[in-house]
């Protein structure tokens, strides 16, 4: 018998993830305390609804959270009407938000006192892969809890990997976000170089995509840059949040991240220009600004 799934956090990522759970045949209980539109949409698709995280926890076996950052997850889990208030022994919380690893460990300890297990399971792939159900999920937690939740996670993802104990999922996600940020910056720098040198950046993209410079990031972001389409699939502000968590974690463990710090300042420059809600491909604009050119394919 399939477990009953709870889902809290129905934004750009959460909404399509819920739809894929419904398509896979899971009974779903959702809660969205800010925007009721997604709640109504998912209810029309077959989900049940609840008014608080406490109510969701009281009637589900596996509860998924997909929220912006550590403070929001802490509020939903530990708040007055939070998950912990409605939790019963045997519940599993799967936090698919991208938050600080130490916060994941703290939440897991608080939940363990109530007999509740936890996995931290942040994702990569953005809105397109959330819609397709082909996300990459990086998981931290116990093997037996992971095995119990694996079919549920596979309903939303093509890759689900246990990376270690609780908190390890978010460490893996921070590593992912460092690599993505630096890749986007490198692609931006290279395409602006091509444009400034008088070479069509679209043809440069076609020439390099099959070689060593080819990557998933290049395939996903270069076309957006060439089309000057910065509608958010993954907002720059969210990537700034992830890099802030990466830098904080790096400082705690003694792992300097000089390239990450540099890209973070590029992002902060763009945020100051009012571009924080644009897709993170807008990093291109930083290089256009300093080179006094504009990419045109």
Nearest-angstrom CA–CA distance, 63 and 90: 11
Q: 9 near 66, Cβ under 8 Å?
A: yes
173 annotated active-site: yes
Q: 160 near 139, Cβ under 8 Å?
A: yes
Q: Please report, to the nearest 10 degrees, the dihedral formed by the alpha carbons of residues 208, 212, 216, 218 taken in order.
A: -30
- Count of CB atoms situated within 10 Å of the CB of 113: 8
Closest C-alpha among 176, 286, 186 to residue 230:
286
Q: 21 near 152, Cβ under 8 Å?
A: yes
Choice among 129, 173, 221, 241 that is catalytic: 173
Q: Specify burial of residue 228 (Cβ count, 10 A radius: 0-12, 13-18, 19+).
A: middle
Active-site residue set: 173
């Amino acid at each position: 018998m399939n477990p009953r799934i709870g889902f809290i956090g129905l934004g750009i990522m959460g909404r399509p993830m819920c739809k894929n759970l419904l398509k896979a045949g899971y009974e779903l209980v959702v809660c969205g305390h800010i925007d009721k539109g997604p709640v109504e949409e998912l209810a029309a698709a077959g989900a049940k609804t609840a008014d608080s995280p406490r109510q969701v926890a009281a009637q589900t076996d596996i509860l998924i959270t997909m929220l912006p950052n550590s403070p929001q997850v802490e509020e939903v889990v530990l708040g007055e009407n939070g998950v912990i208030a409605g939790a019963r022994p045997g519940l599993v919380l799967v936090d698919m938000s991208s938050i600080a690893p130490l916060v994941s460990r703290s939440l897991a300890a608080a939940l363990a006192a109530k007999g509740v297990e936890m996995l931290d399971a942040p994702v990569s792939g953005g809105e397109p892969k959330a819609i397709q159900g082909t996300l990459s999920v990086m998981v931290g937690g116990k093997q037996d809890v992971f095995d119990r939740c694996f079919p549920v996670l596979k309903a939303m993802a093509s890759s689900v990997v246990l990376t270690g104990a609780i908190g390890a999922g978010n460490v893996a996600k921070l590593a992912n976000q460092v690599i993505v940020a630096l890749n986007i910056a490198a692609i931006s720098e290279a395409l602006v170089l091509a444009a400034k040198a008088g070479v069509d950046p679209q043809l440069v993209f076609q020439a390099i995509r099959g070689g060593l410079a080819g990557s998933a990031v290049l395939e996903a972001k270069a076309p957006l840059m060439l089309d000057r389409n910065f509608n958010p699939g993954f907002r720059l502000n969210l990537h700034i949040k992830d890099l802030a968590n990466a830098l904080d974690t790096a400082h705690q463990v003694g792992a300097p991240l000089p390239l990450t710090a540099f890209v973070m300042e590029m992002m902060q420059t763009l945020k100051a220009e009012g571009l924080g809600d644009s897709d993170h491909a807008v990093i291109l604009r930083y290089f256009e600004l300093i080179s006094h050119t504009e990419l045109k394919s």
